Chains A and B, each alone.
Chain A
Amino acid sequence: MNKKIAITFLCVALTQFAWAEEKTASGKSLSKNPVSAEAEKVFRDSFRVDSPKYWSQRLEQDETMKLCSQYKDNPPVAVRQKIELAQKATIRYPVDGKLLGDWKEGEKIAAHGRGGHIGFIQPDKPMTPRGGNCYACHQLAAKEVAYGTIGPSLHHFGKIRGNSDEIVKYAYDKIYNSNAFSACTNMPRFGLHSWLTPEEITHVVAFLMDPESPVNKD
């Protein structure tokens, strides 16, 4: 228990350190782009002023987003390392510390692609649960043929990588904050944005790892 508290403190300290550092760095580099200030204003001014506050919050950028945008997702090594370090420090774990949940739940979350669409024309119904939408970008279970290719195939992920503690933790961390391993990746940071809860992430991890899961079995 003591150990856990200590780790939490360390994490918080690290986050703040990294964040402060990022700010100065980006302050300098962002001014390089000649139209960015005007472009940002044009972008912001394109949305309705009377839209709900949580909508406009989706236009805000954290330092990682700003840097990735600025470098068109291809930052120089130093910036890349800085982002990855800062993002690693954001990762939080479920209270009981277990990283392997129920793969059947995980299967549902991975397949579910709706939730979180806003606007006046075709929003999701208010209480639509948010899914991981992993199939949008990844192949997973062989039986699902409607998978995208933005990310690599994760078919047989556990079978190939094994299910050592390190791999389980890697999978959890990757889903929680993809940018901890590859700055400016196309993969969303599901945990950081609370798009998925830590518990939901453990279910998805089990879906990737469990030998009985269709990801590995078929």
Chain B
Amino acid sequence: MIQRLIRTLVGAAVVAAFAGSTAAQDSKVADELAKYREALADGNPADLLEVKGEGLWAEKRGPKNASLEQCDFGLGPGKLDGAYAQLPRYFKDTGKVMDVESRLVHCMVTLQGFTREQATKNWFSKPGTESDIEALVTFIGAKSNGKPINVPATHPEEKKMYQIGEYIFYRRSGPQDFSCAICHGQNDKRIRLQDLGNLTTKEGAGTAMKTWPSYRVSQGAVWTMQRRLIDCMRQARFPEPNYLSDSIVALQVYLQKNATGTVMETPGIKR
């Protein structure tokens, strides 16, 4: 762990050096990523966030001065090994299908006494503002490393969310006639220089989903799956869906079911 951390710290310095040119051309970013991967070997700045998330998980916080250690992600209170890999899933206590972020926020509200607004205020980081959710999700995600994604969507509510996700995936609208399928519905395509997996297949969805949450070099930050999908809506020229909205959870059920069986490798590192 210590050795991994040191490598990560070196890596963070490398990232900082590249972060200046984030808006640079795609081709330049591709070069940077290649150089960057070399420099990092198997370290990842997300490892730092993972450590932070581990601390936040156990820390007593909020009006109820409680930790998150009793949070139940579907495998029992506090059971995190493999939890991320089997989400989203249906939860009896809320009567809803929830993804890792919805469930985490639910626990911050019910266990720690935060309001929903407080819990979600910084759901993603900005330069100068860190995000507890990012750190916690990175930590929780890493607890599924090596575990196969397992979202069979057999419960009727999960099945319905899968169908809703599929509906949204193919739903075209907006001034560019886009849908998710335009960019992610075929094998071996790319937009500019970015490879686009075919998210309708096990292979494509698996390659994508196993790596999240991921450190994004071009953004200099870890992105959660909510952040990733909300940004894809932006790329499609749609308005911005709300954080934790059912559309985003439904899309995740669709993608995770397609990816089921793929072994998790998270936190990932991406362009």
Contacts and interface: CB of A to CB of B under 8 A. Distances in A.
A78 interface: no
A72 B237 CA distance: 19
A42 B164 contact: yes
Interface stretch (A10-18, A101-109, A142-150, A200-208): A142-150
Interface in A103-149: 113, 116-123, 135-137, 145-149
Interface residues of B, number: 47
A132 B230 CA distance: 23
Interface in B50-94: none
B216 to A, nearest CB: 13
B176 A69 contact: no
B174 A58 contact: yes
Contact of A65 (B172, B183, B191, B241): B172
B105 to A, nearest CB: 16
Contacts of B170: 69, 72-73
A55 B173 CA distance: 12
B129 interface: no
Interface stretch (A19-27, A44-52, A89-97, A163-171): A44-52
B235 A59 contact: no
Given A46-B246, A121-B234, A150-B191, A39 B239 contact: no
Contact of B240 (A42, A48, A64, A179): A48
Nearest to B164: A39
A145 to B, nearest CB: 6
Interface residues of A, number: 50
B240 A47 contact: yes
B239 A59 contact: yes
A42 B234 contact: no
Nearest to A186: B182
A188 interface: yes
A189 B173 CA distance: 11
B261 interface: no
A35 B8 CA distance: 46
A121 B163 contact: no
Nearest to B124: A121
A31 interface: no
A38 B177 CA distance: 22
6 contacts: A46-B248, A51-B239, A73-B170, A113-B192, A117-B235, A148-B191
Interface of B: 25-27, 124, 160, 163-164, 167-168, 170-179, 181-183, 185-186, 188-193, 196, 230-231, 233-235, 237-242, 245-248, 250
